Chains A and B, each alone.
Chain A
């Protein structure tokens, strides 16, 4: 038993006493926190203050730095600069365990419960000082006392597997209180919940904050939740503090503007207009289910003209991934249809080839490559079964694939030891360049790109965007799905917003209003 465990035990004995409800939790403050990953500033001198007993919303787009900030507080990362104060005293947190010692706990987006164990077992398990032999009678008595003090009660006997999603999330929160956390940080706690469940969970949290049991900091991008439940809000944008204040003083429009910025980023890439391009790529009431069989795409209809880039913006997890999977043939549709040039399209090899549909998925190594096959083979996925890469019609000519790959390596500047090297050994940017070489070679009628630049360095990003724009300028219909608004604006002719599996907003890029887009991304259509 370490000193850490000792302190936790001390605190938890304190917590079960009646003192707790009266004494508000300590304040939490982050001052001038900066964190860099390589050349990227994930956080740039950000201040954040959590008032004791308040419900604080942390708002921002994907990649704005919310998670990084929280991870610095929890000790997953060490901040490069800045300091943390609890109750005005500076602290250093090197691990989540140490954060726990300071009474800071975290609830994650996805559950961390053991499904096949009971509520009581899960709670006892979460303690830092689980005894070798557990006196269940005593534990259960104490658990009953603990539950009696809580605004919400889950029978300790119940099996976690049988709890509804909302109950599980409440149990996660109870778990934090049980181990003695007075400052609870939640990372998008409602993303796996229905709106009703979300209301219950957030209502309970606010109640507990008002009673002075905990301070709550919640990462979210749903304005509805911010407005309805939070007292204060801090908005981050691109790693910087974009604004903070009392929620009641702010309108959703003001928050949206803080989140996405007031100015529309100007596209710098050269655009060539095509005359009279007809609708070329169309989705008609396309629906699909997620892996659990829940509806994740609801009658998505859209069209992309030849020589046009249509950008789909949205907070990730609103059906964009599944939409791309459906178009890539990685997920079946439940209803609706896709048409290319007026003809029905299903993502088979023959049709992809005939209609010239190409894809640039995100995470190319996971979605578009076979890691232990060579660069040449990976570049040849689209054409290994066509002349001149075959002989006798059914033998693959490795030499043809290799010489093709050598040309692609030159043209696309792929840094690889050679065409025979396994592609998994290449850097992310070079894997994406190899996929680009494969997908953009030859005539392309429809290009579907999903976060094509995610996680890549600056040089790769600008090159890949230039190539996508070049495909558009030469007449491809491009559907760009991205959680990066800057990318959407840099490339798109038309912008759609996707939220909860539906297209909820459409605008020409030149007339797009940032605040509107931000609001719709946050679910303002409710």
Chain B
């Protein structure tokens, strides 16, 4: 082999093997995961409808009409019928998406911030503080999540804010545990030791080395909780906790329409179908993300 051909081969090498970064791989996997893409599109549509509710809802969601109570699907201009007070179901479903998405997302975001921070602190500091934080979380684990949410909001009384607080409380322990496990694993790795040896402060180690490694499992787990949160918050509204009437909310609509299942069964099933589609979409997108990001929890 001559020197010239060798040089050519070396030059050709980088072109032949294109190294794809982590996010490149994740993006590529997602691009070919049609199920995840489809349900992502569904979520985006629901989000869009919720944001643009005033523009796209055909009627005022709170305008009642005694004459048009409990009309079937397709009755005149009421494409999805009317509810027990004669309000347009389609408009209420579109507006209701706002509340349901809010109640689904906010508790998860709050719990991720609080639980994640607590978990990182517990994992990084270790020792007695870890004991204190994690054993406290264990106690909250001793309640089934539905029961804990109902216990807190049932005691505090109804209302959106109490519902949000209750759900956030429910999600803090699992997120804390995930963050703590991930942090404990990272803490003793060589690169953290190296950073410490080179004089980095705890704060900067956490910021630069720990958070990056903890974020993926925490965010993936949090994304799987959105579906739970949508289901639970609608359940709270269904029980009369959470959102208060006449605010359009899927759980609340399901609860008030329950009395009318003998009259208009199909119309009464609609809010539940909306909850189902939303929860299913978030679940599948979360699964797809987990798969694409190759995170094991």
Task: Note whether A and B form a binding pair.
Answer: no
B residues in contact (CB < 8 Å) with A: none
